[in-house]
Amino acid sequence: MVMVDRLVDIRDKTTVTSFLVRDDNIFCTCGEFREPGLIENMAQTAAAGVGAKPGNTGGKPPLGFIGGIRNLKIEGFPKVGQQIITQITVLHEVFDATIVQGEIFLEDRLIASCELKIFLIK
C-alpha cells in the first residue's frame, strides 16, 4: 500500500510529500482518510526521505517499522479527492532508530501531527 504520491521537497533534515486521497484506499471510511492512514502517510514520508538521501543508490528503500508514536494530535480528516501535504523533520538519529516530527496539512491547515520512532532494518 502506497500512501505517498510525490516527493515535493527534501533538504537537510526535512522531507515533504503529497498524497491524493482516493476512494479505494484501505484507510478510508465513510469518505474520510482516517487515523491509521494519516500515521502511515507520515511513516512513508519519512521512508521517502531516507531513500532520497544523497549516496543512496536506486535500489530498494530500506524496510522499517514504526516503533512508537507520541503526542498524536488529529484536528481533522481529509476527504476523498483532497490532497494532503506531509512534512517530516528528523529530530534524532541513533543507530537504526530515527525520531521524526510529522505534520500533515490540508489546504495550509495543520490537521495531524505526532512524533514517530522509526526503526530501519538493514
> If you write DSSP's letter for every residue of 98-121 in order, what string do you get?
EEEEEEEEETTEEEEEEEEEEEEE
Q: How much is the pLDDT for 60?
A: 64
Q: Report, in angstroms and rounded to the nearest whole number, the Rg of the chain calculated over CA atoms.
A: 14
Domains in the chain (CATH in brackets) are 6-121 (3.10.129.10)
Residue 72, C-alpha cell as written in the block: 498524536
Residue 60, C-alpha cell as written in the block: 530498494
pLDDT at 55 over 80: no
Q: pLDDT-derived band of residue 69, with 50, 70 and 90 as boundaries? A: very high
Q: pLDDT-derived band of residue 23, with 50, 70 and 90 as boundaries? A: very high
Q: From residue 95, how far is each of 83, 108, 119 by CA, in Å? A: 34, 34, 9
5 Cβ contact list (under 8 Å, min separation 6): 17, 18, 19, 20
Amino acid in position 111? I
Q: How much is the pLDDT for 57?
A: 55
Tens of pLDDT, residues 85-119: 999 999 999 888 899 999 999 999 999 999 999 98
SS3 of 44, please?
helix
Place of cell 510525490: 6
Angle at the Cα of 85 (from 21 to 30), degrees rounded to 5?
Answer: 25
Angle at the Cα of 31 (from 26 to 32), degrees rounded to 5?
Answer: 75
Q: How much is the pLDDT for 112?
A: 98
Mean of the per-residue pLDDT values for the chain? 90
Query: Model's pTM, two decimal places?
Result: 0.90
Helices (H), the chain: 35-51
Q: pLDDT-derived band of residue 58, with 50, 70 and 90 as boundaries? A: low
Mean per-residue pLDDT, 39-46: 94
Q: How much is the pLDDT for 28?
A: 97
